[in-house]
Structure 1
Amino acid sequence: MKIAVIGGTGFVGSRLVDRLRAADHEVAAHGRSSGLDLQSGEGLQEALGSADVVVDTIDAPGFDETASEFFHVTMENLLQAAERAGIGHIVLLSIVGIDRVPDVAYYRAKVLQEVLVVEGPIPYSIVRATQFMEFIDKIVGWTSDGSTVRLPTTRLQPVAVAEAVDTLADVATGPPLNGTISVAGPDVFPLDELGRLTLRVRDDRRSVVTDESAGLFAAVPTEAIIAPADARIGSIRYTDWLG
């Protein structure tokens, strides 16, 4: 199967490319470093070439209101080019619970991106993942003042990026779902407890203070971004991953 991965040189995309190539699929990785500008459309038609499937793993450059315009423009360009190229399946990487968090600009932007895919001309699959284990350190750092980290009790269900990539690969090589599948890790943590656990294992002496107004996740309802009942649940536990 011929698969084009947009964002294929990025954190998730590069891992997906490796996973698909290991399964003997013909995979092309595309991103800015390969000459693709998804915002202008430059290099997009050439990138899709004779692919059967296109997977979109790109991320917006910011988490503010600019994300909506970015996802709108890039997805419109991708859908139009995919239709011209005769692509039979588009797969989008998205985030669990975004439709339940209207107060976060980035999540509203991802909802818009999903709507464009659903209403577009290409058979589709949407893979929603919970927060990646690999990003928890960064999340903890967002609200750190050097010696103290302030975190709300919003519940997270982190997933190892390898298991999210496995789901992406399975979906990309199967028939279009014309629907959504979710993937999450096996354990749920309040974010403040997750922060304490992470810092303790890292031997990081910063202290965690519970603060329901701190950071992006303060605007997320407590249960909004944990896995739905029908989610695909990974086997890698965060405590084992940390170790």
Structure 2
Amino acid sequence: MKIAVIGGTGLIGSRVVAKLNAAGHEAVPHSQSTGVDVISGKGLDEALAGAQVVVNLTNSPTFDDASPAFFRSSMDNLLDAADRAGVGHVVILSIVGVDQVPELDYYRAKVLQEQILMAGPIPYSIVRATQFMEFMDAVISWTADDDTVRLPATPIQPIAAADVAEAVAEVATGAPLNGVRAIGGPQVFALDELGRITLAHKGDPRTVVTDPTAGMFAVVEGDVLTDPDAHLAPTRYADWLS
């Protein structure tokens, strides 16, 4: 099966491409570095030629109120090109609970991306994942100074990027869901506690202060958690750290 992976050189995309090719498929990575621009549409027709499936893993360069415009333009261009190419299945990666946090510009933008896909002409699948373990350093950096890291006690269910890629590859090679598959890590932590675990593992002497107003996840309550029907990935946070 020929699968075009748009955003195929990034954290998840590169892993998806590797897994698909190892399974005997022809997965081709595409990104700005390979001449594909989802905003202008440049290179999309060539990238999608002959593909049965398109996996779209591109992401907005910002998390602010500019992100809806990115997802609208990129999805409109991608779906138009996929329709012209006769693609039979489009897959995107989204976020567990994305429709439950309207206070966040980025979450509203991802909901818009899902809505555009669902309203489009091509069978589709949406994979919603909880927060990536690989993003924990960035989350810590948002509210850190030389001595302290301020984090809310928001419940979080981190998942390893490798497990996300495995799920995306599995969905991409199956029949279109015309719906959502939710995936998450096997454990739930309070975000402040996860910060303490992370810093202790790194030997970082900074103190984590519980602050319900700190950072992007301050407005998120239990929405980052999976429901009982979700697929739980195998990788535990301590094993990932190691």
CA distance in 2, matches of 1:229, 1:76: 33
Which residue pairs with 1:99 in the alignment? Answer: 99
User: What is the 5 A alignment of 1:46-65?
Assistant: 46-65=46-65
Kept in 1: contact 2:132–2:161 (CA 8 A): yes
Which letter does structure 2 place at the counterpart of 1:73?
A: S
SS at match of 1:226: coil
The answer for unaligned runs of 5 or more in structure 2 is none
Q: Which residue of 2 aligns with 1:226?
A: 225
Matches within 5 A, 1:137-176: 137-176=137-176
2:36 paired residue number: 36
2:11–2:161 Cα contact (<8 Å) kept: no
- Note if 1:202 corresponds to 2:172: no
Range with bigger deviation, 52-61 or 138-147: 138-147
Instruction: Tell me the residue number matched to 2:115.
Output: 115
Cα distance, 1:225 vs structure 2: 0.8
Q: CA deviation at 1:156?
A: 0.6
Q: Secondary structure at the match of 1:106?
A: helix
- Partner secondary structure for residue 28 of structure 1: strand
Paired letter, 1:61: P
Compute the displacement of 1:10 (Å): 1.1
Deviating more after overlay: 133-142 vs 26-35:
133-142
Shift in Å at residue 108 of structure 1?
Answer: 0.4
Partner residue in 2 for 1:187: 187
The Cα offsets for residues 127-150 of structure 1, whole Å up to 9 and x where unpaired, read as 001111111111111110221100
Q: Please give the alpha-carbon distance, in whole angstroms, between the structure 1 residues aligned to 2:43 and 2:18.
A: 22
Partner of 2:239: 240
Q: Does the 8 Å contact 2:132/2:158 carry over to 1? A: yes
Paired with 1:182 and 1:6, the residues of 2 have a C-alpha distance of: 21
- Structure 1 residue 190 displacement after superposition: 0.5
Write out per-residue CA displacement over residues 23-51 of structure 1, whole angstroms, 9 at most, x where no aligned residue: 01011110000001110000111010110
Poorly superposed stretches of 4+, deviation over 2 Å: none
Three-state SS of the structure 1 residue aligned to 2:12 is helix
Given the two structures, how large is their TM-score scaled by the length of structure 2? 0.99
Alpha-carbon distance between aligned partners in 2 of 1:202 and 1:94, rounded to the nearest angstrom: 29
